[in-house]
Structure 1
């Protein structure tokens, strides 16, 4: 899901699956306790991945999304088009692929077991989105703007949301003792993911005037209390 997007983490394998991003407060290449950081091979992958993404952002900023081709991205990143596709199956994936899901799952699982679910979600999501907006404000704005303006990017984001939703289903199942495939669990998880997508779109459509973490809070209040109670106060 669109939020914290630091490209300093270990890149995903060729299949396009995402890899965990570094925990907040650690330097690039560092992880949690006992993590010695990536080896030489992984560092080379990180460098290549960063070069592809940075080239893509630069080209999109200069000439627009539609005019930017994978061939141009490969040339600017000094790699082959096939290398670009090994890391990112589609051009949309270069813009959207991130390390947010593993980070979100790890931090949610670290919350106290007796903490109310919505409190855990609010604390972790507000922190994660605030981190992304602070660390990479221009990139976060570009990504959300492209979701609004480019149908292919928005469609790919909606497709990737199902992965986030399944992750939340697993987490909710563990937290509540219910089955991850229960209808109620699936509705809650996908409803929450949809709420966060609409929050990002609202933020972009209104020229980023509001605080993104504050908008996340507002979305979670609506999700928690229902629309009628929110409007009626």
Structure 2
């Protein structure tokens, strides 16, 4: 497994994959700073648009570089092909974590350049929660990129997040979508609504009593989707 992950890092040397990992959080921070969004605006843009877009694009790029070759390089090895799929997911998880850490560090710097509204503890908690609740998107986007293309994966992922934003605190069943978990948890952690507006003091949305179970649910979904998509990828060899 380590060899597979190491191989993915070697493939990415000098590629646009690493550039996306670094430049996406930097772009969010720069845009928010110069447009006056501050820390709240940066976080809002990050988890509503840029993070789901980054997940989809990275997943598609990692899949496409083997897909264009018909996975011939992978299928030459006797190992279970599902392991290659798992290795790519773990590799992408590392990239997402690195990009999130860059964003979190930038939020700290922004606090020194502008009026700080998000504490260091809230920043760390928010960043970690977003990573944990977004992991399930990796196998989804990889599957869509494998079966379709980058456009389909990106459109689906970003659209699902935006639908969850619209459905937040409504009677629609879509408010229970896993795509809305991270968004909802930012309310008690960062004290901001999905539209970036600060939550008034005393609002029930500020209660942080239910943080653990939604995160665990997303992690269980992540593991389930890994298993399902890995089995589908394994069967792809025989086609």
Shorter chain as denominator, the TM-score bin is 0.3 to 0.5
Superposition TM-score, scaled by structure 1 size: 0.42
TM-score (norm 2): 0.42
